[in-house]
Amino acid sequence: MQRSLSSRLIISHVAVTVMVLAVALGISNITFRNYLVGSQVKNLAMQGQTLSRVMQGYFSGTLYRPDAVYLIHMVQGTLNDRVYVLDNTGEILMETGNSQLPPAPWSRSVLSRVLINGQEFQGVLQGGNQRPEATAGIPVIVNGQVAGGIFLEAPLSTSNKIATSLTGLLLVGELVAIVMAGFVAYGFSKRLISPLVALRQNVSRMGVDEQEQMHTDLEGPQEVRDLAQEFNRMSDRIHVQMMQLRKEAEVRDTLLAHVAHDLRTPLTSIRGFLEAIRDHMVEGPSLERAVDVAWEETLRLKRLVDRLLAATRIQSGIGSKNPVHVSTWIETTLERVAPLAEESHHALIWRQRDDAVILAVEDYLVEALINVIDNAAKWGSPGTPIIIDSVVSEDRRSISISVKDQGPGIPPNMLDHVFERFVTGDKARRGSSGLGLSIVYEVMEQNHGHVEARNDPQGGAVIIMTLPVLDSAA
């Protein structure tokens, strides 16, 4: 069974607390026991020093044995220990105290230290019952000589009981601390994961409402705030992409609607004339007229399909960029649009002829300039010239190619929309598909340039394409 992050945090906090407290309990138990045993041995040594001063009279002959035993009992009091009085040869002269405490087997080194070297001994020795006992040995000095020694023994049960009791109390306190640590860990974990819960809820709602932009609050530890910040950035990117996809879907639907309409109109016309010819309903001049109209509608269909293919190809970005001379670009375009200009009775005048090298796909540039000149031919008054200028900027970082017609100009409310798809001035009269200038805009964007539309104060519209020259772009 998988545990939640909150339960894992609680368990980890409690586990760490238990381990730390267990180590602390063990160390405390050892510390208490060593301290109590050490205190017990020191007390025996202090008691032995008092008895040593008392027994100096016994070894010097000024204190009789009954009096010495009495004094030993007085000093010993109610202590649960055993007192031995030895002479300097190690023979036990007196023995008092706890009769149930077996005598400790003092080693030769301990006896030599006290009875020969005259040094005190304090420590823990194994008693006759094979249990550790607190032991102290104090020499009795008479006239500068070791006359004997006082040896005291006491069981460690009292110290052990006290140490066990203190350890038990400490254990109870640690159990309470563990419970409190669990509550603290629970509160901490809830506070820690609350931003993650909010983040999960936002993620679950993402995509349900495309218009709603999901953001989560930047709170919690630094790592959680960083995660929330990255989520907000991702949400922003997804929202932008969703809006872009929505816009592209709308454009696609609009494109299909316009294409269906633009295809249906000429197809209906062609079908009607062909049915009339098939049924022999038209003859003579009318027949020739019907064939001409059908031919014109076929050319219109071809232009529409060509525009759609060009728009799709340019938008896909297929093609490699190469250095292109602006003069070559304009010359190639003028050669291709010469029949169109002649048919529409427009003279093409390339007035200012600055040249520069740009980095672009030449076919796309030609397609863009053809669309601009075609737009000028449609809207320019018959018999008026179309003026083309190529002008390098003063800092020689860019070059502008402008195309000016002699038509009525662009309505002010249309200036900001002429480069959008399917935007036309008078589609019924001019037969425009509304794709030409949108292709120009796409080409300029792909080549890090821009295009703008203006109305000339002297009349007519001006389309200006500006591109960076190759030296400045590099």
- Residue 419 sits in a domain whose CATH number is 3.30.565.10
Of 140, 162, 184, the last residue of a domain is 162
Higher per-residue pLDDT: 69 or 411: 411
pLDDT at 324: 92
Q: What is the DSSP string of 328-361?
A: HHHHHHHHHHHHHHHHTT--EEEEEE---EEEE-
Residue range of the domain that includes 37: 5-162
Report the chain's mean pLDDT, rounded to a whole number.
Answer: 79
Residue 314 lies in a domain: no
Is 303 a residue whose pLDDT tops 80?
no
The distance from CA 151 to its chain's CA centroid, rounded to whole angstroms, is 74
* Number of domains observed in the structure of the chain: 2
Residue 456 to residue 325: CA distance in whole angstroms: 28
pLDDT at 473: 41
Q: H-helix or E-strand containing 20?
A: helix 5-60
Confidence of residue 474 (pLDDT cuts 50, 70, 90): very low
Is 381 a residue whose pLDDT tops 70?
yes
pLDDT at 387: 93
Angle at 92 between CA 90 and CA 94, to 5 degrees: 145
Instruction: Summarize the confidence of residues 266-270 as an average pLDDT.
Output: 74
Tokens encoding 133: 């006992």
C-beta of residue 433 within 8 angstroms of C-beta of residue 344? no
Cα–Cα nearest to 359, from 266, 242, 472: 472
Helix residue ranges per DSSP H, 61-156? 65-76, 108-111
Is 404 a residue whose pLDDT tops 90?
yes
Of 129, 162, 195, the last residue of a domain is 162
pLDDT at 2: 52
Instruction: Summarize the confidence of residues 412-418 as an average pLDDT.
Output: 82
pLDDT, tens digit (0-9, with 9 covering 90-100), for 116-136: 898 999 988 876 666 788 888
C-beta of residue 349 within 8 angstroms of C-beta of residue 429? no
Cα–Cα nearest to 316, from 347, 361, 284, 259: 361
The reported pTM is 0.46
Residue 162 to residue 169: CA distance in whole angstroms: 11
Residue 451 to residue 402: CA distance in whole angstroms: 9
Lowest pLDDT segment from 259-263, 356-360, 405-409: 259-263
Of 162, 181, 216, the last residue of a domain is 162
pLDDT at 12: 76
The contacts of residue 258 (CB under 8 Å, 6+ apart) are 422, 433, 434
Name the amino acid, one letter, at 409: G
Residue 261 lies in a domain: no
Is 350 a residue whose pLDDT tops 90?
yes
Q: How many CB atoms lie within 10 A of CB 463?
A: 25
Residue 198 lies in a domain: no
Cα–Cα nearest to 94, from 65, 126, 71, 117: 65
Confidence of residue 256 (pLDDT cuts 50, 70, 90): low
Q: What CATH number should be reported for the domain holding residue 135?
A: 3.30.450.20
Instruction: Summarize the confidence of residues 436-441 as an average pLDDT.
Output: 83
Residue 299 to residue 102: CA distance in whole angstroms: 129
